[in-house]
Structure 1
């Protein structure tokens, strides 16, 4: 419980959330699903860079 205490206070004090990070993670999951699992790490990173950078 005390682990999330500071994050909760940050939202009410600064209106800061991690929604942008969560959104980016969701986009990565969609990208991976399109290719049904990527084995080549260089291709994966270059694809992410081209799409989301």
Structure 2
């Protein structure tokens, strides 16, 4: 039986989590994490949203 679709409500707050399968390490080098932050920053400039950490 498939999982029910996720809610998609305009103006709602969503929790997004970045981690690998089985909690594997995502960023093996500092440069990998820095690249992720750079791409995130570019996305926030293009699509301004509230980012809560």
TM-score by length of 2: 0.36
Return the structure number with greater helix share.
1
Structure with more contact order per residue of length (Cα contacts < 8 Å, sep ≥ 6): 1
